[in-house]
Chains A and B, each alone.
Chain A
């Protein structure tokens, strides 16, 4: 039995990030969870589009993930970019074409599950942020056992899996497009926390 939650601590409502975060939220090398020269660096990129299929030029995304071994960083200084410490957090504003690019490493499995990166989307017009997950296409076997993918209607699961799209400059690249609305709308998650 859990005790009833005290009613006086009720959540503060969300509001949109608005259009004018550009001078406040992006920070130096925020999109680089690892430097591009890291031997295991990957590119995670994509385009945010709206219900008309048009790019959203004023979205900002955050990544949060485990490291290559599946460990979650507890190192203080999550915004620091010292070139060595992996803090697992990154932030990237999209460009005028709605496109974002992160440099990171592929996370290891946490507790035996399928590797994934938590992706959070904020935008003007989006009054409450959206959570999703980016899984990797080469882990199809592990995806069959994944509880979150299992909770998603099969026809929509592909929206949570990146597409491998080459090795520009020798770096493996994964595309993860975010469709806020429409026929191939990305699956967004409610963690009921």
Chain B
């Protein structure tokens, strides 16, 4: 597994601030802000040997890439969206809901597509055999959920708020609390795996995975919003998080046909 790195947090901070300053200078010079993280982000040590050094080859997607697997209700049981009822007892932690919509680049709902989530428990521990964090496992929480989006692209999960956890990127490295999300669009080119974070986390500025997105406005798109109207009295706190996928180019081509 990961080698222990003894770089201090302040050295990592300096590296991150330097990259952000360079990215900001590019935007000030008229460049577009970077929507996605950099694959090569040295403060996240594991990216150093795992990013391609060649430019990606830009090509037009063909028919296969413009379709996506057809998910259906046989793939997912409706109970899988509630991560708090998978065991005999109630999991420990703050019960919460995360709800939102999945949209494409033109704001149209992404219907009947699969969302998978996974997360640590309230103590910051994953049910994964390689997770060495000495926080306790919760016998009543696995931390895996799935849902198929509805007709308006909507989804909702009931879960508990995950805890932050340490990792070995550098000395005293801690991940801000997050839920991993995996999404499919109507075209395979829209495939996305990302993480949702929680508002006001003091670890944001210190985390190389979050900071690998050099544009502050883009980073903020990964943070859910606390919505008191989604909270249920004496039961759960509510967060809202909408997700926007790329394209899809397929639909642009359709709409362009009318003009040809």
Contact = CB atoms under 8 A, between A and B. Distances in A.
Contact of B50 (A24, A113, A120, A180): A180
Interface in B191-225: 191-195, 209-210, 212-213, 218-219, 221-222
Interface stretch (B10-18, B70-78, B90-98, B230-238): B70-78
Interface stretch (A68-76, A136-144, A169-177): A68-76
A20 B131 CA distance: 7
Contacts of A188: 52, 54, 56-57
B259 interface: yes
Nearest to B219: A13
A1 B246 CA distance: 20
A56 B56 CA distance: 20
B104 interface: yes
A167 interface: no
A14 B188 contact: no
A120 B63 CA distance: 16
Contacts of B249: 191-193
Interface size class of B (residues with CB under 8 A): 35 or more
B259 A56 contact: no
User: Interface of chain A, helix or strand or loop or mixed?
Assistant: loop
A79 interface: yes
Given A11-B244, A78-B71, A191-B189, A20 B118 contact: yes
Contacts of A163: none
B6 interface: no
Contact of A125 (B47, B56, B60, B256): B47
Interface string A116-136: 101010111111111100000
A84 interface: no
B44 interface: yes
B105 interface: yes
A107 B116 CA distance: 27
Contacts of B142: 23
A23 B129 CA distance: 9
Contact of A88 (B35, B69, B118): B69
Interface string B164-192: 00000000000000001010000111111
Nearest to A62: B191
B69 A87 contact: yes
B53 A181 contact: yes
Given A78-B70, A110-B64, A185-B52, A193 B221 contact: no
B69 A78 contact: yes
Contact of A51 (B50, B61, B114): B50
Contact of B248 (A12, A66, A111, A193): A193
A64 B69 contact: yes
Contact of A11 (B35, B65, B130): B35
Given A9-B107, A16-B209, A113-B62, A2 B255 contact: yes
B107 A8 contact: yes
A62 to B, nearest CB: 8
A9 B103 contact: yes
Nearest to B215: A13
B41 interface: yes
26 contacts: A11-B35, A11-B36, A12-B245, A13-B35, A13-B37, A14-B193, A15-B209, A15-B222, A64-B65, A64-B68, A64-B188, A72-B64, A76-B70, A120-B188, A125-B47, A125-B50, A127-B38, A131-B65, A131-B189, A148-B57, A151-B59, A180-B50, A187-B57, A189-B58, A193-B65, A193-B190
Given A76-B72, A124-B46, 16 more contacts: A10-B218, A12-B244, A13-B222, A14-B37, A15-B212, A51-B49, A76-B71, A78-B70, A87-B69, A120-B188, A151-B57, A185-B54, A186-B52, A189-B56, A191-B60, A191-B249
8 A-B pairs closest in CB distance: A76-B72, A125-B46, A78-B69, A24-B118, A193-B189, A190-B56, A193-B247, A125-B50
